[in-house]
Amino acid sequence: MSSDGADASDRAPGLASLLERSLYGETLDCVHCGLCLTSCPTYRATGRETASPRGRIYLMRGLAEGRLEETEVLEEEAFLCLGCRACETACPSGVHYGEMLEHTRHALRTEPPRFGSAIWIERFALRQLVPHASRLRGVVRLMAGIQRLRLDRLAARLLPRRLAEMISLMPRIPEAQARRRMPLLTPAIGERRGRVALFEGCIMPEFFGRVNDAARLVLARAGYEVVVPEGAGCCGALQAHSGDLDCARSLASHNIRVFENELADLDAIVVTSAGCSAALREGESWIGEAAVGVAGGVRDILEFLDEVDVSLELEPLAKRVCYDDPCHLVHAQGIAAGPRRLLERIPELELVPHANPEACCGAAGIYNLTQPEMSQRVLAPKVEALCAAAPDLVATANPGCAMQLASGLAAAGRSLPVVHPIELLEEASRPRG
């Protein structure tokens, strides 16, 4: 049903026009072969054709052609999709499903009648809090105080089940020292190999500052001068995934202006979050040719270190590690072997295989908040596979995945540490004595 109860057929002509202009031609690339079906988490969970990539594309095309008069099914299925893009890896026709999904959600969220109160709250958070560093910092400080006083546990007992579940997903807020901003310039250690910019992002400094700092230290030890450009901010990934392409475009344009002045002196723009690096690389689909130069310079931290064949003196780490592929690293960017090669360089570290490491964990940005039941259904086999492998810790390269996996493992009674691979490289390369 549409969020405000209005007749969805009233929206169809306007939506059809939007979809026809933005992506109708791309829907024709899908030949409906069905090779994407087994890779799709929601299709595997439901068995519904409309919950598959080709089913959703068929609905998009039907609306653009005027054959789909009511939009409820398309709206439901478009937002039930995790956007994991495993279908792109499986597709023999090169369909850009992720881009199509974002444009569809944008059309659904922008055509009148306007969306309801729940979506207004989501949009307020993603527009007015997440991209604004000072506001986000204030909210995180408040959350830290609530956790210190254990009010979150009290609220979880008193609030309705749905709200209690949302609170349970909130990660532990790091100490204030771990949330300090990085230095704007970190000199290379030893012989200088080059100069890189490190993209901090919005969520990473507040919840995963240790990951950004580990990347900074490893890059410096590898001989790279590391700059943190002032003014760079939120990449727009969460906004685009939620259907707010206008905001995503604005954020992307801002970052382009910040980085294009630095680009000539850089070997790469290095990113520690798979979702952010994917979004920065795909800026052209949001704002056109202006994004091409910066997008071409973006590298995920693990991809960059693997590409330059980084030379580090690594001490042994006797740990059994399961590496789990973030969807926006393996499917959106095609990066799978590099992270494993880097981890295999660490003496005595054992990479432990587990079932289907490329499958989605169900985090998908804020999907675990907006679609909690499906998120848990997708997460369950992942947790089962990790528990069966019995590692000492789990490594993944995206903050949402890290939080989702940690929550699922804790709920299963296995509170395994979940870290970014760069943290293991930093520990192994740390100067001794």
pLDDT in tens, 134-148: 999 998 898 888 888
Measured in whole angstroms, how far is the alpha carbon of residue 196 from the centre of its chain?
Answer: 22
As a whole number of angstroms, the distance between CA 425 and CA 408 comes to 25
User: How many whole angstroms separate alpha carbon 320 and alpha carbon 89?
Assistant: 28
User: What is the per-residue pLDDT for 3?
Assistant: 40
**What pLDDT, on a 0 to 100 scale, did the predictor assign at position 365?**
85
Q: What is the pLDDT of residue 258?
A: 92
pLDDT at residue 166 greater than cutoff 80:
no
Q: What's the pLDDT at 252?
A: 95
Residue 267 DSSP class = S
pTM: 0.90
| Mean pLDDT of all residues in 67-79 | 87
Give the confidence band of 112 by pLDDT, cuts at 50, 70, 90: low
Tens of pLDDT, residues 308-327:
998 899 999 999 999 999 99
What is the pLDDT, as a whole number, of residue 185? 96
Residue 417 has φ and ψ, to the nearest 5°, of -60, 140
Task: Report, as an integer, the average pLDDT of 6-28.
Answer: 61
Q: What is the pLDDT of residue 61?
A: 87
pLDDT at 171: 75
- In tens, the pLDDT along 204-235 reads 999 999 999 999 999 999 999 999 998 899 99
Residue 192 confidence (pLDDT) above 90: yes
Q: What is the pLDDT of residue 170?
A: 72
Cα separation, 328 vs 132, whole angstroms: 24
What is the per-residue pLDDT for 71?
A: 82
| Secondary structure (DSSP) of 95-116 | --HHHHHHHHHHHHHHSSSPP-
pLDDT over 80 at 119, yes or no: no
Q: Helix axis angle, 97-110 relative to 245-260, nearest 10°?
A: 120
Closest by CA position to 81, among listed 46, 124, 117, 121:
46
The CA distance from 172 to 135, in Å, is: 19
- Tokens 């080709």 identify what position? 54
- Strand extents, DSSP E, 48-166: none
Q: Does residue 6 surpass a pLDDT of 50?
A: no
pLDDT for res 149: 84
What mean pLDDT is predicted for residues 57-63? 89
CA distance 83 to 78: 9
**5 pLDDT tier (thresholds 50, 70, 90):** very low
Inform me whether the pLDDT recorded for 277 exceeds 70: yes
Mean pLDDT of the chain: 89
Tokens 């009511």 label which residue? 70
Other beta carbons within 10 angstroms of residue 7's beta carbon come to 11
| Residue 1 pLDDT level (bands cut at 50, 70, 90) | very low
Q: Is the pLDDT of residue 114 over 80?
A: no
Percent of the chain with pLDDT over 90: 66
pLDDT > 80? residue 155: no
CB 133 within 8 A of CB 202: yes
Q: Please, are residues 412 and 421 in contact by the beta-carbon 8 Å criterion?
A: no
Distance CA 208, CA 201 (A): 10
Give the whole-angstrom CA distance, residue 189 versus residue 238.
Answer: 35
Model confidence band, residue 117 (pLDDT cutoffs 50, 70, 90): low
pLDDT of residue 399: 94
Q: Does the pLDDT value for residue 376 go beyond 50?
A: yes
What is the amino acid identity at position 290? Answer: A
pLDDT (mean) for 37-65: 93
| Residue 176: band (very low, low, confident or very high) from pLDDT cuts 50, 70, 90 | confident
Q: Distance of CA 288 to CAs 201, 213, 237, 366, Å?
A: 22, 32, 16, 26
Identify the residue with better confidence: 189 or 18.
Answer: 189
Give dist(CA 287, CA 25) in Å, integer: 19
Dist CA 213 CA 322 (whole Å): 22
Q: Which pLDDT score is estimated for 8?
A: 46
Mean pLDDT of 268-295: 93
| pLDDT for 189 beyond 70 | yes
SS3 4: coil
Q: How confident is the model at residue 120 (pLDDT cuts 50, 70, 90)?
A: confident
> What is the pLDDT confidence band of residue 352, given thresholds at 50, 70 and 90?
very high
User: CB–CB of 68/12 below 8 Å?
Assistant: yes
The alpha carbon of 143 is separated from its chain's Cα centroid by a whole number of angstroms, namely: 22
pLDDT (tens digit per residue) in 236-271? 999 999 989 999 999 999 999 999 888 889 999 999
> Strand pairing partners for 195?
225
